[in-house]
Structure 1
Amino acid sequence: MASPTSLPSLLDSMKAQAPSWEQIKRTPLFILTNYSNVLMFLFFVGAGLWQNKRKRDEAKKVPQHSALPAPDFPTITELEKFDLKTTEPLKLRPFKPKYHLTMDGDTALETLDPNDLLLMDKNYQPRITHRRRIIEQNTTIAIGVNNDKRIRPAVCDLYSFLTGTYLPLRYPTMFRIHHTEYEYGKASVLQNLVTGEMLPTSATGASTPTFALLRTLGRHLDEDFLLLLPETNAQGGVKKDAKYVLEAYVACCPSGFNPAEKLGKKLRDIHGPVPGYAEKLEGSMDRFFAKLEDGKYVKRANWSVSMDGELFQPGLGTTHALEGDEVREFTGELDPDKTFVRCERQTLHRLPKSKALVFGIKTYLYPLREIKEEGLGEELAAAIDGLKEGNIPEMHFYKRGGEWGTAVKKYLRS
């Protein structure tokens, strides 16, 4: 069977065979009409092909991943070619030879690029699977919200920005906005391209409980969120020199504290068990929280050692010790693949409308063997000794250094 003739070849052939003017004058009218019909057909085919090409070219200029406007928040830059499967987790190494309890903590407080508010990596899927299990089995610990009419606008503020703007813009290969129209009007939903699930982007209606919004964030993001508001007076106004109170949270990776027991408490009460907090940190932290401006994002990191690698540790005795507790030195065979340096990447920013503070925490676990193979064994060993040599020597006991310190240092220095 002969191959079909291309359109340009067909046109050239027709041009070569086109009749002369003398022949056209002698041609019957019905034949001329047929010629006209063919030429009109070819014209419309060509016009159609040109129009389709123009539309395709214009479509390439239109952003493929839309997002809802959030004019009160910083502008977010798209990571168009972000590859979740090949992106390694962030490596935090906040080790210092002496531990000082200050606003700087283990590492100096740094300005955070709003684009990096949330970090994604190849552990995303197993982590959210773990978080969903924690939420299912320990709901009353993992999620909490106070009966404070001020806290719902704050949660809605955070939820709408993350689902409607930040996630589809920053990580378009993971999240995508879909716009649709119902009988009652237009709506948008966010698709998690990793799980295939759809979730609402609007949190302003009264139909979705605040608790459910926090639950959705906890199920789709590998980040804990704690929302704080300044305390109010009897008339509902913010107190002068108000202290900040934990009003809502989703926390699947607590370390040594039960967040449900901290709900409704001020910062000083939340940090009550921390040695030296009242003397060394309370005043500067209260002042910093009160003065943090809209649009300013900050971050810091801390570290501890985990003998089991469990992310969900709401019990105080699992990772911390208090005066009177018995801390027994570990004398068994240390497994460097099952002993971890646990680091928290902590972020802080103020929501523009509700003025609530959002404290974000992403927890990383690094096998002890990894630290040693990087050549940082002595650095970490010195930091363990340094827990006793800073401005709060009790921090070594509080972090249960007496339990794991000797065994970990022996391995690191071997």
Structure 2
Amino acid sequence: MKPTYTPYDGSSTPFTIGLAQLDPDRWIEPDADLGDQLAEKERILARYGDLVLRAEDDTLAAQQEVLETLADYLPTQHAGIWRRNGDRMEMAGREIDLADENMTPLCRAGLLVQDDLVIMRRGENGWRIAAAFLAFPSSWRLSEKFGLPMDEVHAHVPGFEGGSRNAGLINRMFDNLSPDRFVVRWNWSVNWSHALYHPNAKSPEEKRGVPAEKALIRVERQTLRKLPRSGDILFTIRIYLDPLSVILAQPNATELASSMANQLEALTIEQTAYKGLSEKRAELLNVLRKAPLEAAPAR
């Protein structure tokens, strides 16, 4: 087993915007977990309803644009995984009726891919969350952020508060994003249970009794693209959960562990608290600093 992405290797810095150009052919990246994660999305949607799926009334056209974009892209770029026959899309042993009016277009779109889908819309106060299918949240709740502009969405993120340089940069970058330009960024955090639906990562109960060796590194692959018809921005979030033990078993474990430890040590008190690591950072650092040395072959 090998991690798909390792942004903690120094290629991405926590609490920075860090956008990079993305090849449009690599916009959506499925893997062997597609079927299981689509089933998990259905289960979460059935259980939590509008806590994970909601939309402003006037976003139906944008939702349909997202659905049509994915319905065209997926069988073209990944013909061996997604197969379209009229209004039916088959993938990973599952089938979605693309014209099923019992579901919103965004719901149908979200059940096609492992990624969560968020539609951002420009308003007087900047870009806001206007519609979202967020089955796999990382320490936040759609019910608390829905409809809010980016300044308020990031109000509690150190360095991204309203009026900060980063807050202004986000709105300007969204304004300047063109439909033919795709961008990507990565984020990572530490989880203590193997749960894709994870709105409460900062809960101390979750960490209690879990040794640092059992931590999971939660990597988010986030992409942004502007929708040409609506002018809205589609924000996708794909989650990867990698046990720390797997990372420390890689051939370059020493470099990965050292870089991860360096990034953890560089966090401010406020950033550490935001990441929910105040109680566990020292323990994690101890594991990261010694594990590669223990795994190294004797000379």
TM-score, normalized by length of structure 1?
A: 0.63
Native 8 Å contact 1:112 1:298 kept in 2: yes
Q: Secondary structure at the match of 1:369?
A: helix
- Match 1:125 to one of 32, 35, 42: 35
Residue 176 of structure 1 is matched in structure 2 by: 83
AA partner of residue 154 (structure 1): A
Deviation (angstroms), 1:244: 0.5
Mapping for residues 362-373 of structure 1, pairs under 5 Å = 362-373=238-249
User: What is the one-letter code of the residue matched to 2:138?
Assistant: S
Per the alignment, residue 127 of structure 2 pairs with: 244
Deviates more, 1:278-287 or 1:90-99: 90-99
Select which of 61, 86, 89 maps to 1:191: 89
Assess, with a 3 A threshold, how the Cα gap between structure 1 residues 359 and 90 changes in structure 2: closer, same or farther: farther
8 Å contact from structure 2 (residues 9, 255) kept in 1: no
Residue identity in the other structure for 2:73: Y
Distance 1:270 1:89, change over 3 A: farther
Which residue does the alignment assign to 1:225?
117
Amino acid at match of 1:295: D
**Partners in 2 of 1:359 and 1:124 — Cα distance?**
19
What is the CA deviation profile of residues 261-305 of structure 1, one whole-angstrom value per residue up to 9, with x for unaligned ones? 211110011111112212241011111011111110000101111
> Equivalent residue for 2:139?
256
1:284 and 2:177 matched: no
Instruction: Map Cα deviations across residues 288-344 of structure 1 (whole Å, 9 max, x no partner).
Output: 0111111100001011111112111223xx238xxxxxx6996856274x4210000
Is 1:112 matched up with 2:32? Answer: no
Identity %: 23
Partner AA of 1:229 in structure 2: R
Largest Rg, 1 or 2: 1
Letter in 1 for 2:55: V
Q: CA deviation at 1:376?
A: 2.9
| Richer in strand (by share) | 2
**Quick check: 2:8–2:263 contact (8 Å CA) kept in 1?**
no
Residues 1:134 and 1:290: Cα distance change in structure 2 (over 3 Å): same
Contact 1:254 1:314 in 2 (8 A): yes
Cα distance per residue 1:105-147 (max 9 Å; x no partner): xxxx211111111111111111111111111101111101012
Structure 2, unmatched stretches of 5+, are 292-299
Which residue of structure 1 aligns with residue 223 of structure 2?
Answer: 347
1:401 to 277, 283, 299: 277
Q: Does 1:102 align with 2:10?
A: no
Would you say the 8 A contact 2:3–2:242 is kept in 1?
no
Q: Secondary structure of the equivalent of 2:30?
A: coil
The question of 1:296 aligning with 2:181 is answered: yes
1:255 shift after superposition: 1.1
The offset of 1:404, in angstroms, is 2.3
Q: 1:307 aligns with which of 168, 179, 192?
A: 192
Instruction: Please state how far the C-alpha of 1:346 moved relative to its aligned partner.
Output: 0.4
Residue 356 of structure 1 is aligned with which of 223, 232, 235? Answer: 232
Name 2:73's counterpart in structure 1: 166
- Is the contact between residue 27 and residue 223 of structure 2 (CA under 8 Å) also seen in structure 1? yes
- Which blocks of at least 5 consecutive residues in structure 1 are unaligned? 1-87, 179-187, 232-238, 321-326
Task: Indicate conservation of the 8 Å contact 1:146/1:263, yes or no.
Answer: no
Structure 2: distance between partners of 1:89 and 1:141: 33
With the length of structure 2 as denominator, give the TM-score of the two structures.
0.86
Deviations 1:202-236 (A, max 9, x none): 6xxxx837x622222222311101101111xxxxx
Count matched residues. 286
Q: Are the aligned partners of 1:243 and 1:267 in contact in 2 as well (CA < 8 Å)?
A: yes
Q: Give the letter aligned to residue 147 of structure 2.
A: G
- The CA deviation at 1:389 is 2.8
Residue 324 of structure 1 aligns with which residue?
none
Any conservation in 2 of the 1:388–1:394 contact (CA below 8 Å)?
no
Q: Aligned to 1:294, what secondary structure does the other structure show?
A: coil
What is the aligned-residue RMSD (CA, Å)?
2.6
Corresponding residue for 1:268? 151
